[in-house]
Structure 1
Amino acid sequence: MLKRGRVTAETIVAQNDLHADFGGVVPELASRQHARAITRSISDVLRQSQLSSPAKDLDGVAVTYGPGLAGSLMVGVSAAKALSLAWDVPLVAVDHMEGHLFAGTLMSPVDLPSLTLLVSGGHSQLIEITEPGRYVELGGTLDDAAGEAFDKVARLLGLSFPGGPEIERVALLGDGSYIRFPRALSGDTLDFSFSGLKTAVLRYLEIHGPVNVNDVAAAFQEAVVDALAHKVGMALRKREYRSVVIGGGVAANTLLRSRIEELCAAAGVKAVIPPKRLCTDNGAMIAAAGAFRLGLGQVAALDIGIDTSLSLA
C-alpha cells in the first residue's frame, strides 16, 4: 500500500496566460517566470503552514529534478538546494512523473498491486506497481503524448492554449458520435499512438472546409479517451489489480475520469482519481513523493544536477 499523505499548505502559480499567445509553452519564458515566482510561492506556503521554524519543523525539502524543461528544472533545484543548506534539512530529488503518481495518495491510500495511467503533455504511460517504489512500464506512447495531441488539435481548431481544457469546454456542445476518428494500435499491445489521430483531424478539416468545431472537438476527445480507457481495460483483463490510479494533466478530463470510474466499478477495482487541481503540475504531489523517498532514506547530495529525460520505469 502507498500511504495517504496530508497537505497542510499549498500554492500553485499557473503560466497558461503567459504562453497562450504562442500556442504552447515557450521554455525561456517558462524558466524566467519560474525564477520570478518561486520566492513568493515559498513565502506563501510557509505563511499558510504557520511553522514556528522551518529548520525545526521540516523533515526535508523535495524538488523535481526531471524530466522537464531544463531552465525550469534548474530554477527549482537551485532553490531547493539553498533551502536545504539554509535550514540544514535533507534534500530529496523526485521524478516529476512519480509526483503525478503520488497525487492520488493525497486523497486515498493506493492498494497494491496497482495499475497507473499517467497522461500529460509529454507522457502517456501505463505503469504497474507491485511494491512501493518499484515501477514497470506496461505501455507508452510511440509518438505524440495524449496532452500533446490535445494541444495540437486545439490549435488546428483555432482554440487557445492549453488545448485540453479548451477542447473539453467546446466538446460539451458537440456530438462525439458525429465523426468517427481512428483509434490506433487496437491489437494486443498496451502502447499508445496519437499522431495518426491528429493527422486524421487535419485531413478532415482540409476536406470539409468550415466545420462545426464543437462536433470535431467532441469526436477527437472521444477518440483519445476511448484509446486510453481501452488500454486500461486490456491491462485489467491481463492480470488482477487492487487499484487503478490516474495522474497527469489529461487526468483532469471529465470524460476520462468517468470512463475510468466505470471500468473500475465493472472490474471491482478501487479507482484513485485526484481532484482536478492535483492532476496538473503542483508542489503537493512532489512533496508526497518526496516524503515517500525520504522514508526510504533516499537523500540527494547538494551537487545533484537535473535530468531532462529522466524515466520513471
Structure 2
Amino acid sequence: MTSPIVLGVESSCDETGFGLVSNGRLLGQGIASSAQQHAEFGGVVPEIAARAHLDAVVPTLENSLAASDVELEDITHVAVTSGPGLATAVHVGLAAAKAIAWALDKPLYGVHHLAGHAAADLLDHGPLPDKGIVLIVSGGHTSLLEVHDLVEDDIVHLGDTLDDAAGEAFDKVARLLGLGYPGGPVISAAAVDGNPSAFRFPRAMLRPGDDPYAFSFSGLKTAVARTVEKLERDGDPVPVADIAASFEQAVVDVLVAKALRACRDKGMQTLTIVGGVAANKRLRTHAQEACDAAGIQLRVPSIDLCTDNGAMIAAVGDMLVRAGKEPSGLAISADPSAVLERAQLPSAG
C-alpha cells in the first residue's frame, strides 16, 4: 500500500504555509509571510493579511511541492486550518484547500490551528509522548494543556491567558520601545546586550491563591509602559536593552514556572513548548535548565516549525489519516473562534 502524502494548508494569520508530510516525516514546505506589510501598523491588519494570502497561495504551494519533490497528483489527502484565526485569512486557506481537494478528488480534514502547533514537534523529534504537558505560546494564544493522544482524546485546557497572549505582549512592548514589528525577534535582539535584572517587572499570577495555570501579561505590559513614561518625563535616557531583557525574563519566568508546576501536579514527565514564542532563545535555555533540574524531558521544535506553517497542519492530517478518522468533508466552514477540544474540526454540514 502506498504511504499517504498529506498536504497541509495554513493561513490563520500573516503566514501562508503549505507542507507535505508522510508517515510522520516532513517531505518539504513553503512559507510566505506578510509581516513586513503590517509593520507600519504595529500589528496584523486582517484585510492586508487576506490579500497577501491570495497573492501567495499559488507560488507557496508550488514551492512546497518543489521542496518535497512531489507532484500535485501524488497528494492523497488534504488538511487545512479551519480555525481559529483571523476570519478573512482563514477563509483564503480553507478555500484553497477545498479547491485542491475537489480538483484531486481527495479527502479533506479540518484541523484546529493550535493542535497543529502541538503536532509540529513530532516532525523534529518523532512520535509525540503518550501523555504530557504542552505549553502553547504565540501571538494570539498562551495555553497550558494536558495532552494524551492528540487525535484520539479530548485535549484538557489547564489554563489560558486572561488577557494579552505572550506574543501580543512582545508586540506591544516592542512598539513602546520603538523597536518595530513583529515584537518577538526585535525584543530578543535588543535584550542580548541588556541586563535582565535591571528592572523588576511583575510576575503575574504566581502568588498563593492565584490560578496556578492561568496567565496574565497585561499588567506586565503596563509596568513597562509606566517605566518608559517615567524615564521620559524625568528626562532620563531609556535603556532599551535593559528594559527588553528585563521584560523578556519576566515573561519567561512565568511561562516556565507554570509549565513545570503543571508537570509536577499532573505527574507528567514530558513538557513540549510550541508556538512562535517558543523560538525565543531565553525561553528555550531557561526551560531546558529547569526541566533538567526537575528530571523532565523538554521537547521544543526547531525554530522554522515554531511559527505558523503548513507542515504542522499536515502533521495533524497525517495522524488523522493513519488513525483512520473520517474526513471533515468539503462542507466544513471556517470557525475563527474555535475552542481547542479536539485536533480535528468537524464539518458543519
Q: Bin the TM-score by the shorter chain.
A: over 0.9
Query: For structure 1, which runs of at least 5 residues remain unmatched after alignment?
Result: none
**Residue pairs, 1:115-264, within 5 angstroms:** 115-133=133-151, 134=153, 135-187=155-207, 189-209=212-232, 210-264=237-291
Match of 2:312 in 1: 285
Give 1 or 2: higher helix fraction: 1
- d(CA) in 2 for partners of 1:41, 1:130: 33
Q: Please point out which of 89, 104, 129 is paired with 1:111.
A: 129
Aligned-residue offset at 1:4: 7.8
**1:30 match:** 49
The equivalent residue for 2:27 is: 8
Aligned-partner Cα distance in 2 for 1:4–1:222: 38
CA RMSD of aligned residues (A): 1.5
Residue pair 1:112, 1:241 contacting (<8 A) in 2 also: no
Q: What CA distance in whole angstroms lies between the structure 2 residues aligned with 1:144 and 1:49?
A: 37
More strand by share: 2
Give the TM-score, by structure 2 length: 0.86
Give distance in 2, aligned partners of 1:42 and 1:131. 30
Question: In the comparison of the two structures, how many residue pairs are matched?
Answer: 309
- C-alpha separation between the residues in 1 aligned to 2:218 and 2:326? 38
Q: How does 1:66-105 map to 2 (within 5 A)?
A: 66-105=83-122
Take 1:219 and 1:45, find their aligned partners in 2: how far apart are those partners? 39
Q: CA deviation at 1:44?
A: 1.6
TM value normalised by structure 1: 0.95
1:270-290 alpha-carbon deviations (Å, 9 max, x no partner): 211101111000111110011
Which consecutive residues of structure 2, in runs of 5 or more, have no partner in the other structure?
1-21, 342-349
Letter in 1 for 2:28: A
Question: Would you say the 8 A contact 1:159–1:166 is kept in 2?
Answer: yes
Indicate the residue corresponding to 1:310 in structure 2.
338
Task: Name the stretch that deviates more: 157-166 or 255-264.
Answer: 255-264
Q: Structure 1, residues 137-194: CA drift from partner, whole Å, max 9, x if none?
A: 1111001000000000100000110001000000001101011001111135210000
CA contact (8 A) 2:78 2:109 kept: yes
Measure, in 2, the Cα distance between the counterparts of 1:199 and 1:261: 29
Moved more, 180-189 or 112-121: 180-189
Maintained 8 Å contact 1:112/1:242: no
Q: Distance in 2 between matches of 1:41 and 1:132?
A: 28
Secondary structure, aligned partner of 1:47: helix
